[in-house]
Chains A and B, each alone.
Chain A
Amino acid sequence: MSVSTAFEKARADGRAALVGYLPAGFPDVAGGIEALRAMVDAGCDVLEIGLPYSDPVMDGPTIQAAAQQALEGGVRTTDVLRTVEAVAATGIPTLVMTYWNPVERYGVERFAADLADAGGAGLITPDLTPDPDVAGAWIAAADRHDLDKVFLVAPSSTDERIAMTTAACRGFVYATAVMGVTGARATTSDLAGPLVARTRALSPSGADLPIGVGLGVSNGDQAAEVASYADGVIVGSAFVRALLDHPDDRAAGLRTLTALTEDLARGVRRA
């Protein structure tokens, strides 16, 4: 199921969609599935499941710590797909967010087929731009398996690249609100609004391609602010932080996660 269905539903409700991220295998595979399901129950509209990777150049310390813990716990690519299957079974559109090398190593076609079999919606690829010489194999495999292709635009992107990127996206386009890595920030970025406006204007399908804004959002007020101009509010590090802060008490971690999800879900409805 394409994530665009969730965006359409949110749009019909006159609000933005809440997109939540957690890496698979954190704190362990079963605990990760439980946490992701708690996020579904508390109001996330779309979930992104991170594939933990040894060299995550776009991630700040919070997500790095979670990914490293997952890798030290022995998480495998197959565990990520297993997590997708368990979460997608709830009926919520579920994407995998991954650096490129693990997909290439698994086999691009095989990964696309297994992701589709698991009920996954598609991929977000932070280090794979849709330039044909770079992403051609993935784009072809995604098209064969009807998967979403979520590429990123940044404040530094030229108009030409935003047009090219939005043309290649399926599901939504991920607008990185700040020039920097993932991580909760005290204030939202003043670069995000203008980027969303440019992206909307340059997207060949116009308003039909939803725009999700990520990097830095950690509470309902920030979510409400982003929801006032974007179609989706993407939250990652704040969710990870909720679990990292309770290493020895998973129940407390899940309660914090649920409360945060509810706060953010109210936020996207407030705009």
Chain B
Amino acid sequence: MTTHVERPTDYDADEHGWFGGPETGWGGRFMPEALVAALDELTVAWHDAMADPAFVAEFDAILREYAGLPSPLYLAERLSAKVGARILLKREDLNHTGAHKIRNVLGQALLTKRMGKTRVIAETGAGQHGVASATAAAYFGLDCTVYMGAVDTRRQALNVARMHLLGAKVVPVESGSATLKDAINEALRDWVASVDHTAYLFGTAAGPHPFPSLVRDFTRGIGDEARQQCLDRFGRLPDAIAACVGGGSNAIGLFTAFLDDPDVAIYGFEPGGEGVDTPRHAATIHAGARGVLHGARTYVLQDEDGQTIESHSISAGLDYPGVGPQHAHLAATGRATYLPVTDDEAMTAMALLSRTEGIIPAIESAHAIAGALRVAERLGEEKGPEATVIINLSGRGDKDMGTAIEYFGLGDPDQVTEEPVGEPEGAQE
């Protein structure tokens, strides 16, 4: 299976990075002049690479032999029986390093090598993109520096250790709120000074042109594979597809192949945190306003003066006050529907999937599970049990066990009982 084909959709960006054309105003490139030449160079190199069969073949071979792709499209039978609709899980949790992110970093690192650059930098929130970047750097023999908010280096010590073991330098960022958005700022500051020999491996389908489209190209294999797998096995397209949306790389990776299938409903589930009626959430599309952050015009959580507001989600990978501009465009056109899922709903879904299918999902992916099951129940009632929903299971939950222990009260040796502890509401039969 070829995981990578450049195939236009009706929802792509124009040559300047405007999704749906400049009149929509979504995307673009709001960047210092000092970085424009590098972004132009990257744009040319990316177009050349995607048009070069040798590059595409090499990328596919690496994904296949090193990252374990294509990932299975798994029919979750017990979960399907529970909701009354056919639930298919795109098993990105089985990829090398445990998430869809390996696709993006291997693509960008291969492109870096092709461009003759010797060093990569990356930002990371929880550390997943940092670990993936360090992995890709080790694979290709590139120097790697990862910027990570100081708050996050403290709460994600295991991922810091993984990056160190992989040979990457990890720089704690103390500025601003010392979280993901500040790590992006610091990586951009590095890049302004190092751009002649350094590539910035952007971690999500956001940022200035060409990153939203480039990252989409490297992750769209998720949907290309899933669409074909669904056709091969069931002879039909799904009724709906669903993914969680933080910056939005796993979501755009799944959505792209289905954008021009008008009968496939598309759902993105945003981190609703403690509720979108509270200040503690990261539901950017649902509750944010149009603005410019990190180089693109998109929805941004911001105050009335345009200052970025700190986001909150129990899932560090979704905890970002912006969102990829193509998602803003898909939301504005109505092609995709974006809905919030709270921390509690996601944690309930995490336990549900664990106990129903024996799969511990990343909390990010648990947002997609929670939201998609609501959709699936409705579709099942409307169309019967053949109603089919593909959910992107974007990552595995090992990294989230600390959060799960705290949330469910697990892991206390005095609490080992025959009854499962931390039984969440909604996970009951």
Please report A residues at the B interface, Cβ cutoff 8 Å. Answer: 53-58, 60-61, 64, 68, 71, 76-77, 100-106, 126-129, 131, 133-134, 151-158, 161, 165, 176, 178-181
Choose one: B176, B193, B306; the contact of A105 (CB below 8 Å). B306
Q: Which residues of chain A are within 8 angstroms of B333 by Cβ–Cβ distance?
A: none
Quick check: which of B225-233, B292-300, B311-319 contacts chain A, the rest being far away? B292-300
A57 B29 Cβ-Cβ under 8 A: no
A64 B175 Cβ-Cβ under 8 A: yes
A180 B305 Cβ-Cβ under 8 A: no
Alpha-carbon distance A127/B39, docked complex (angstroms): 14
Q: Which residues of chain A are within 8 angstroms of B18 by Cβ–Cβ distance?
A: 133
A180 B37 Cβ-Cβ under 8 A: no
B307 A71 Cβ-Cβ under 8 A: yes
Interchain Cβ contacts under 8 Å between A and B, 9 examples: A57-B188, A105-B289, A106-B306, A128-B30, A131-B29, A134-B29, A156-B34, A179-B195, A181-B193
Choose one: B16, B38, B185, B306; the contact of A56 (CB below 8 Å). B185
Highest count of chain B CB atoms <10 Å: which of A134, A153, A155, A165: A134
Please judge, given known A-B contacts A105-B306, A156-B37, whether A68 and B16 are in contact too, CB under 8 Å.
no
A54 B176 Cβ-Cβ under 8 A: yes
Q: How far is the CB of B316 from chain A (nearest CB, A)?
A: 19
B33 A129 Cβ-Cβ under 8 A: yes
Please judge, given known A-B contacts A56-B185, A57-B189, A71-B307, whether A133 and B37 are in contact too, CB under 8 Å.
no
Residue of B nearest to A137 (CB): B25
Choose one: A56, A68, A103, A161; the contact of B33 (CB below 8 Å). A161
Is B166 in contact with chain A by the CB < 8 A criterion?
no
Alpha-carbon distance A53/B189, docked complex (angstroms): 15
Choose one: A57, A76, A127, A156; the contact of B195 (CB below 8 Å). A156
Residue of B nearest to A59 (CB): B189
Alpha-carbon distance A174/B294, docked complex (angstroms): 22
Alpha-carbon distance A138/B262, docked complex (angstroms): 38
A76 B30 Cβ-Cβ under 8 A: no
Q: How far is the CB of B18 from chain A (nearest CB, A)?
A: 7
> What size tier do the contact residues of chain B reach?
35 or more
A176 B33 Cβ-Cβ under 8 A: yes
Is B36 in contact with chain A by the CB < 8 A criterion?
yes
Q: What 10 A-B pairs are tightest by C-beta distance, nearest first?
A: A105-B306, A154-B34, A180-B193, A102-B306, A156-B37, A54-B308, A101-B306, A101-B292, A57-B188, A54-B307
Q: How far is the CB of A198 from chain B (nearest CB, A)?
A: 13
Residue of B nearest to A132 (CB): B22
Q: Which residues of chain B are within 8 angstroms of A129 by Cβ–Cβ distance?
A: 29, 31, 33, 36
What string of 1s and 0s marks CB contacts (under 8 Å) between B1-30 and chain A? Answer: 000000000000000101000100000111
Residue of B nearest to A58 (CB): B32
Q: How far is the CB of B24 from chain A (nearest CB, A)?
A: 11
Please judge, given known A-B contacts A126-B32, A129-B33, whether A53 and B175 are in contact too, CB under 8 Å.
no
Choose one: B32, B294, B306, B307; the contact of A154 (CB below 8 Å). B32
A176 B34 Cβ-Cβ under 8 A: yes
Alpha-carbon distance A176/B192, docked complex (angstroms): 11
Q: Which residues of chain B are within 8 angstroms of A176 by Cβ–Cβ distance?
A: 32-34
Q: Which residues of chain A are within 8 angstroms of B348 by Cβ–Cβ distance?
A: none
Residue of B nearest to A60 (CB): B189
Q: Which residues of chain A are within 8 angstroms of B295 by Cβ–Cβ distance?
A: 127
B31 A127 Cβ-Cβ under 8 A: yes
Please judge, given known A-B contacts A53-B307, A133-B16, whether A101 and B293 are in contact too, CB under 8 Å.
yes
Q: How far is the CB of A70 from chain B (nearest CB, A)?
A: 11
Is B419 in contact with chain A by the CB < 8 A criterion?
no
Alpha-carbon distance A152/B30, docked complex (angstroms): 13
Residue of B nearest to A157 (CB): B33
B28 A61 Cβ-Cβ under 8 A: no
Q: How far is the CB of A90 from chain B (nearest CB, A)?
A: 26
B32 A127 Cβ-Cβ under 8 A: yes
B38 A156 Cβ-Cβ under 8 A: yes
Choose one: A64, A71, A106, A157; the contact of B36 (CB below 8 Å). A157
Alpha-carbon distance A139/B289, docked complex (angstroms): 23
A133 B294 Cβ-Cβ under 8 A: no
Q: Which residues of chain A are within 8 angstroms of B16 by Cβ–Cβ distance?
A: 131, 133
Residue of B nearest to A102 (CB): B306
Is B72 in contact with chain A by the CB < 8 A criterion?
no
Q: How far is the CB of A112 from chain B (nearest CB, A)?
A: 15
Is B385 in contact with chain A by the CB < 8 A criterion?
no
Q: Which residues of chain B are within 8 angstroms of A127 by Cβ–Cβ distance?
A: 30-32, 292, 295
Is B275 in contact with chain A by the CB < 8 A criterion?
no
Is B424 in contact with chain A by the CB < 8 A criterion?
no
Q: Which residues of chain A are within 8 angstroms of B31 by Cβ–Cβ distance?
A: 127, 129
Q: Which residues of chain B are within 8 angstroms of A100 by Cβ–Cβ distance?
A: 30, 292
Q: How far is the CB of B179 from chain A (nearest CB, A)?
A: 12
Alpha-carbon distance A131/B30, docked complex (angstroms): 10
Is B304 in contact with chain A by the CB < 8 A criterion?
yes
